[in-house]
Amino acid sequence: MVGFLLGGVVGLPRVMVQAVQIATNDPSLEPLAVKMENDIKTEMESNLASSPVLYADAFDQDQGWWLKPAEKTDFIIKEGVLIAKSKKAYRNTQIYSPVNSNDMNRWYSVEVEVKSTNSDTAKYGLVFEYDRVSDDQLYVFNVDIVENKVYLRKYVDEWVVIDKTAAGEIGLNETNNKLKVVRQGRRIKGYVNGQLAVEAVDISYEGGEVGLYAGARSAEDGFVEMAKVEFDNFAVRDGRGDMNADGVIDALDVNLLQNWYGK
Ligand SMILES: [Ca+2]
């Protein structure tokens, strides 16, 4: 009976799904609702750590990375790492992987190891949900070494800071840091070396391409111009299979999760 009810709501308008959610107050359905909520909480705590790897890259060879054209920026894959270069003040280098998150229902994670190799003045991080065609949507999760801060930003006609925090324990020159973005429905979380740094509820985009970010600071402000940043062990995990109670993602799961995370 319960299975039939769940299957029956797939594809119905949102208002109908919400009506069914109200109906979970029915005592006969309560155990399922509790089980789903527990599963959701378990998944939230896991931060997709055990989800299957959709794409992994140790940069032993070029698997199809591409540079968003920008003056005085470049990258090279050699000796097992990807090296991003930015040779002009405020030029940010964006390098995209072959992965697009469009199909993952905003339920995935992106992680990488990164270090600056010629100064402590670089910015570096991850880009996600970039739209190559319109070129006007993009999230950036990055460490700013000069400011000693961690940022979560998005581009909607202009740059908007969604969340920021003090950087905490960050390895400086020649020291690897592990960065990770977790997208769970409406929620975005950014981790530095396993510690939650920034968090927000934001669904500006449906999905998009994921990749790497590096930037140089202004020489006029007293910082060196050129940033050289080294990335390794990039991975994207697909969390969709873990997110629901019955092993099959459907419209009810998505709505429950989005509502739960939106609170
Ligand atoms: Ca490597």
User: Residue 187 Cα, ligand 1 centroid: separation in angstroms?
Assistant: 30
- What tokens appear for 43 in the block? 């998944």
Based on the domain organization, do 36 and 146 belong to the same domain?
no
Which residues, including other chains, have CB under 8 Å from residue 28's CB and lie 6 or more apart?
none
Q: How many domains does the chain have?
A: 2
- Taking the C-alpha atoms of residue 195 and residue 173, their distance in angstroms, rounded to an integer, is 20
- Taking the C-alpha atoms of residue 121 and residue 164, their distance in angstroms, rounded to an integer, is 18
**Residue predicted with more confidence, 121 or 144:** 144
Domain range for 15: 2-47+242-262
Q: What protein residues have CB closer than 5 angstroms to ion ligand 1?
A: 58-59, 80, 232
- What CATH number did the domain enclosing 227 receive? 2.60.120.560
pLDDT digits (tens, 9 = 90+) for 32-65: 566 556 665 555 555 677 788 999 999 999 999 9
Percent of the chain whose pLDDT exceeds 90:
42
User: Residue 9 Cα, ligand 1 centroid: separation in angstroms?
Assistant: 46
pLDDT digits (tens, 9 = 90+) for 179-194: 999 988 788 999 999 8
Per-residue pLDDT at 83 exceeds 80: yes
User: Residue 56 Cα, ligand 1 centroid: separation in angstroms?
Assistant: 11
Q: Which residues of 98-113 are buried (b: 16+ CB within 10 A; e: fewer)?
A: ebbbeebbbbbbbbbb
- Taking the C-alpha atoms of residue 108 and residue 48, their distance in angstroms, rounded to an integer, is 7
Per-residue pLDDT at 235 exceeds 50: yes
User: Residue 135 Cα, ligand 1 centroid: separation in angstroms?
Assistant: 30
Based on the domain organization, do 141 and 234 belong to the same domain?
yes
Least confident of 21-35, 148-162, 184-198: 21-35
Based on the domain organization, do 108 and 157 belong to the same domain?
yes
Q: What is the pLDDT of residue 31?
A: 56
Based on the domain organization, do 10 and 26 belong to the same domain?
yes
- Taking the C-alpha atoms of residue 154 and residue 190, their distance in angstroms, rounded to an integer, is 13
User: Residue 97 Cα, ligand 1 centroid: separation in angstroms?
Assistant: 15
